[in-house]
Amino acid sequence: MIRYILARVIQAIPVLLIASVAVFFVLRLVPGDPASALAGENASQERVDEIRKDLGLEGPVAVQYVHWLRQVATGDLGTSVLNGLAVRRLIGLAARPTIELALVAYPLALAIGIPLGAAAGARPRSRWDLAATAYTTLAIGVPGFLTAIVMLWVFAIELDWLPASGYVSLLDDPVQAALHLAMPAATLAVGLSAVLARYTRTAVSQALTQDYIRTARAKGLPERAVVMRHALRVALVPVVTVAALQVGQLLSGAVVVEQVFTRPGMGRLMVGAITGRDYPVVQGGLLVLVATFVLVNLAADILAGIADPRAVQR
Amino acid sequence: MTAMRMAAWPGQGQERAGRRRSLPGRVLADPRGRIGAAGVVVIVVVALLAPLAPHGPFAQDASGRLLAPSWEHPFGTDELRRDLLARTAYGLRLSLAVSIAAVLAGATAGTAFGFVAGYAGRRVDAALMRLIDAWMAFPALLTALAILTILGPGMRNVGIALAVFNVPVFARMARAQMLVERRREYVVAAGALGAHPARVIARHIAPNALPPLVTHLALAMTGAIMVAAALSFLGLGERAPEPSLGSLISASRTHLRDAWWYAAFPGGVLTALLLSFTLLADATNDALGAGAGGR
C-alpha cells in the first residue's frame, strides 16, 4: 500500500511540473510585449523596463522559469499590476468565499446525487430510474448560469425570499451567510449531483450483478440491506474518483456562479484579472486552482486504493 | 466479462435484438437518440435560416424598447429596440459554428496526437501521455480562461480555446484505440510488407480505430456549446453588437424584472440545443455498450 501511495505521489510530480510550465508561459505567450502594454502608450523606456523586471521577464526563459518556480515555492506569487497588492493576499481573500461555497455545494451534491443514483441503479427501468434519468439529463443539459438566472427570477424577484447578490461570511453572520449561499450553492449542486447520480447508478447496477450480491440475497437479506450495505459500498469506490474529478467542474462552475450572483471569490478574481490584463493575478490564480485540482485527485486515488485494495494490484 | 454477465442477468443490459443493427440504427432505435437527432436537425435548419428573419439582428427599428412577444416580434425586443428573434437566431448560428469548428479541429489534432503516441510506444508514449495528463489537469473552463488571457477576448479565440481543451480527450481515446489495433495481424502484415508507419496509420489503422472516436463527437459538442456560452456570458466572447446565446442571456439579467422574454427565449434555445446533443450522446453511449462511462 505504501508503495502504491508513493507511486501515485511520484506520478503527480511531473503533472504538476508540466502544469507549472504551462502557467508560466501564459505570461510569455501574450502577443507583443506585456510590459509596454501595461505601461501604456506614453510611458518612458525606464518605466517599461521597470515593469518588465517586476514581471520577471528579464533574461533567458529557462532562467526566468527557475527563478519564478523558486519564488512560487516560497509562496511569493508576485504583485498585482492593477492595485499593487501581493497576489498571495488577493488569492487568500478571494479563496475564502469560494471555499465556503464549495463546502456547502459539494456535500449538497453528494446528498442528492448518491441516493438518487443508488435508487435508480437498484431498479433499472423502474419509475424511479426514469425520474432520475430525466433529472440528470436536464441538470447536465442546462448550463449553470441559466439555472442561476431561473433561480434568481423565482426566489429573488418573484418570491423575494433570497438576496440576489452579495456575500456574508459564515463566521460573521451564519443566517445571512446561509441566505446568500442558498442559490449559488444550489446552482452548483444541481450540476454536480447529476453527474454523481449517473455514475452511482451505473456502479450500483453493475455491483448488483456480482456473485456476493447473490449470496447476500440467498441468505435472505432484505433488498434494502443488499443495496445499501453490499452494493452501494463497493459502488462508491469509483464514485470517489469521479467526485474528485468533479472538483474541476466545481471550480469552473464557481467562476460562472460568482459572476451571476456578484459574489466575491476566485472566479470573480480571475475574470476581473483577465479583462484587466492583470497577468500576475491570472498566473497565480491558475496555479493555485490547478494545483488544488491535481492534489484533490491524488488524495482521491489514494483513498480509492485504501477503500478497495484490488485497485492497487493493477 | 462484466458485459457478458450483465446480458445474462434478466432485465439488465441492452436487448439482444439490437445487437446486429448498425450503430446509427441502434442510436435511432432509442427514443432519446431520435429526439436528440431530430432536435439537432431542427436547430441546425433554424440556424441556417437565420437570414430569412423579417428583421435584421442589428436593426433598431422596432416601435419600442423591451416589447413583449407579438406577431411582429415573436421573441419580443431588447433595450435597444432590436428584434430578439433575429438576435437569438444569429446568436445560435454563431454558437453552433464556433462549437462545430472547434470540436472538429480539436478532435483532428487530438486523434493525430493519440495515434502517434500509441503507435510510437514506450518512451514517446510515456512522455506524450504525461503531457496529456497535465493538459487534462486544467478544468475545461480554466483552460479556456488561460488561453483567452494569452489571445485576448473574442469569439475566434473562444473557438481556439475550445479546440485546445478537446485535444487531450480525443488523444486519450485515439491512443487507446491504437494500442488495440497495433497488435492486430493486418497491421503487423502491413508493417512486414515494408509500408511506412504514416501509411500504416492512415490507410490501415485509422478506418478501424476511428468509429469509436466519432461517437464521442456528440458529447464533445455539448461541452463546447456549454463552455462557449459560459465564456460569452462572462463577457469574454464576441464584441457587441454581435449577438451570441451567452451574451444575450447575460444582457437580459438587468431586465429580468420587467422583460421575462429577454432571458426566456435565448435561454430556451440554448437549453434545447444542449439537451438535443446530450440525448444524442447518451443514446450513442448506450448503443456502444454500457459501462463505457462518459467523460
Per-residue pLDDT reduced to its tens digit, A238-268? 777 778 778 888 888 888 899 888 889 998 8
Across the interface, whether the CB atoms of B235 and A289 are under 8 A apart is answered no
In a domain, residue A65? The reply is no
* Contacting residues of A for B9, CB less than 8 Å apart: 209
Q: Is the pLDDT of residue A235 over 90?
A: no
Q: pLDDT grade, residue A295 (50/70/90)?
A: confident
Instruction: State the Cα–Cα distance between residues B99 and B108, nearest whole angstrom.
Output: 14
Which of B222, B249, B282 has the CB atom closest to A145's CB atom? B249
Asked whether residue A156 is assigned to any structural domain, the reply reads yes
Do residue B293 and residue A142 have CB atoms under 8 angstroms apart?
A: no
Q: Give the CATH number of the domain where residue A149 resides.
A: 1.10.3720.10
- Which A residues, 247 through 266, put their C-beta within 8 Å of a C-beta on chain B? 248-249, 251-252, 255-256, 259-260
Q: Is the pLDDT confidence value at A32 over 70?
A: no
Name the residue of chain B whose CA is nearest to A33's CA. Answer: B150
Choose the closest CB to B270 out of A143, A157, A252. Answer: A143
pLDDT given for residue B106 in this prediction: 94
Q: Is residue A88 part of a domain?
A: no
Do the Cβ atoms of A275 and B139 come within 8 Å?
no
How many secondary structure helices (H) and strands (E) does chain B include? 13, 0
Does this complex have an ipTM over 0.95? no
The answer to the question of residue A50 being in a domain is no
**Predicted model pTM:** 0.81
In a domain, A242, yes or no: yes
What percent of chain B shows pLDDT beyond 90?
A: 12
Q: Which residue has the cell 455514475?
A: A199
Q: Kindly tell me if the per-residue pLDDT of A98 is higher than 50.
A: yes
- Nearest CB among B12, B32, B149 relative to A274 is that of B149
Tell me, what's the pLDDT at B107? 93
Structurally, chain A folds into a number of domains equal to 1
HSE value, Cβ hemisphere, 13 Å, CA-based, for B193: 9
Does A12 contact chain B (CB < 8 Å)? no
With H, G, I as helix, E, B as strand and everything else as coil, classify residue B77: strand
Nearest to residue A57, comparing CAs of A26, A90, A22?
A26
| C-alpha to C-alpha distance for A139 and A26, rounded to whole angstroms | 33
Q: What is the pLDDT along chain B (295 residues), one digit of tens a residue?
A: 333 333 333 433 444 444 556 777 888 888 888 998 999 999 899 888 878 777 878 877 767 777 778 777 778 777 777 888 888 888 898 889 999 999 999 999 999 988 888 888 788 888 888 888 777 777 778 778 888 888 888 888 899 999 998 899 899 888 888 888 887 888 888 888 888 888 888 888 888 778 778 878 888 898 899 889 998 888 888 777 888 888 888 888 888 788 888 888 888 899 999 999 989 888 888 777 643 433 3
Nearest CA in chain B to A198: B293
- Is the residue at A116 inside a domain? yes
A199: left (phi over 0), alpha (psi -120 to 50) or beta: alpha
- Highest mean pLDDT among A17-21, A301-305, B74-78 belongs to A17-21
Note the CATH architecture for domain B26-52+77-294: Orthogonal Bundle (1.10)
Give the residue numbers spanning the domain of A134. 94-268
Best of A150, A252, A259 to substitute, by most chain B Cβ atoms within 10 angstroms, is: A252
- Closest C-alpha to B81, from B241, B222, B188, B291: B241
**Cβ within 8 Å, pair B150-A140:** no
What is the average pLDDT value for chain A, to the nearest integer? 83
